Amino acid sequence: MDPETPHLLPDGQTAWVIATDEAAKHLPNLLALYREGEAEPLIFGDAGQPEAVVIPFAVWRALVSEATDEEGFDASYSLARHRLANPQQSIPLEDVAAELGWDLDEEVDDSEFRKPQ
C-alpha cells in the first residue's frame, strides 16, 4: 500500500491520509515545520481511512476555545463554578436564569431526547 492515500470527503474535497507507520517517521520534521509557522495537518490512519490528525498546539487551542464558547458558554460555566465553590443561600431559578440570560418561557425542541414510542 502507498504511504499516502487520497480519501474523498463528503464536501468533495480530498484528504491525503498517511499510513500510521509512515506518520510516525514524519513527526520530527513536522514539529520543525510547526516551529517555523507552518500549520498543515498530518492526517493518518490505516487502510487509507483518516483516523487521527496532528495539528499545531496553537491551532488546537484556538479550536477548543471556539468550540466551547457557543453563545457565552464559558461565562455561564465560570459563573456556575464560582457558585459551586462558594455555596450561598438558595437562589430562585428565575433569578439564575435571568443572570445567565435564559428565557424560561422559550419553547425548546427536545425531540431528540424523547424515547421512541
First to last CA, the chain: 48
Q: How far apart are CA 2 and CA 40, in angstroms?
A: 20
Element (H, E) at 7: strand 4-8
Q: Domains of the chain, with CATH numbers? A: 4-65 (3.40.1620), 70-101 (no CATH)
Q: Which of 29, 27, 25, 5 is nearest to 17 (CA)?
A: 5
Which stretches of the chain are DSSP H helices? 20-35, 57-68, 73-85, 93-100
**Predicted confidence pLDDT, tens digits, the chain (117 residues):** 567 999 998 888 899 999 999 999 999 999 999 999 888 899 999 988 999 999 998 888 877 776 666 666 677 777 777 777 877 776 777 887 787 777 878 887 767 666 666
